[in-house]
Amino acid sequence: MTAPAVDWRLIAEEARPGPMQMALDEVAAETAAAGGPATVRTYRWDPSCLTLGYRQDPSTVDWAFCEHEGIDVTRRQTGGGGIYHDAHGDVAYSIAVPASVVPGELLDCYHLLCEPILDAFARLGVDADYADEATPELYHPACYLRDLHPAHDVVAGGSGAAEPRKIAGNAQYRKRDAVIQHGSLTFSVDAERHLGAFADPPVTETEFRNRVVGMDELTDAARGDAVNAVADALTAWVTAGTDEAGGTDEYIDIDRDGSWTDAELRRAADLAEAKYRDPEWVRTRPGSEREE
């Protein structure tokens, strides 16, 4: 595994509301595009959050359920269907890197940035990989219930499952000469709340569990172990090829205890309020839905 040879910072898991997490992803991309360090990080949704795909119809959301259950709702920059991110059951990560140092072809770039994610599952003893074959969709508005595609959907086996089930959702977009990839790794499945966040999905909880699997079904690891595995895999990916002193032929710098600058946090807070919490962004569909 070889990460692009640029300066990197690794930011440990932080618990923040969904709009702020999406704003920080955008800010990390701006920093990378402006010549600052590329960023790899893990994060936690607090409170639980439903993220809509960029062009998803807001009428597919059960707004009353989300309000009653204290579930935030925001809209991602990436496409696809909605994802319910549970505060306990979801382990999130993102990678922000200059576009000039990664493959220009979307799928090649995606596979490069997914390398540490597959490694994280391996570190936990979870046999996860891209789907072997296509699987028909169950419910289009929900990312995890769309058709499974061998090119990009990550699945894992499970006890009693007739076939591998989806365990991670990953997506990327380009902004201001940077690439941002973010993803959700399922630690524990809460089918009731996931389905409840959508408006009348024609899928039972049993059908949902037959399509989606959590790490807690496949390993005895605690959630903290899963977070550490993702962080360790990201660190190993970024530092691969460095010498014992931490340097490389390209003289890159790696900050293993990275953090946000005050300016970045202010910028993200402004973005969170002006964009990712703004009803016009969250509840207005920006054009016809785009397939990924």
pLDDT of 147 reads 95
Helix axes 262-271, 18-33, angle to 10 degrees: 130
Please give the average per-residue pLDDT across 47-68, as a whole number: 97
Give the Å distances, CA to CA, from 111 to 106, 115, 133, 213, 285. Answer: 9, 6, 17, 21, 29
Instruction: Write the pLDDT tens digit of every residue in 104-138.
Output: 999 999 999 999 999 999 999 999 999 998 999 99
Please give the average per-residue pLDDT across 264-269, as a whole number: 98
The tokens for 48 are: 């639980």
What rounded mean pLDDT belongs to the chain? 92
pLDDT of 288 reads 39
Please give the average per-residue pLDDT across 180-184, as a whole number: 97
Instruction: Write the pLDDT tens digit of every residue in 34-53.
Output: 999 999 999 999 999 999 99
Q: What pTM, to 2 d.p., does this model score?
A: 0.92
Instruction: Write the pLDDT tens digit of every residue in 162-173.
Output: 689 999 999 999
Backbone angles phi and psi of 24, in degrees to 5: -65, -35
Measured between alpha carbons, how far is 57 from 4 in angstroms, rounded to an integer? 36
pLDDT of 248 reads 47
pLDDT of 175 reads 86
Instruction: Write the pLDDT tens digit of every residue in 188-203.
Output: 999 999 999 999 999 9
Measured between alpha carbons, how far is 148 from 95 in angstroms, rounded to an integer? 23
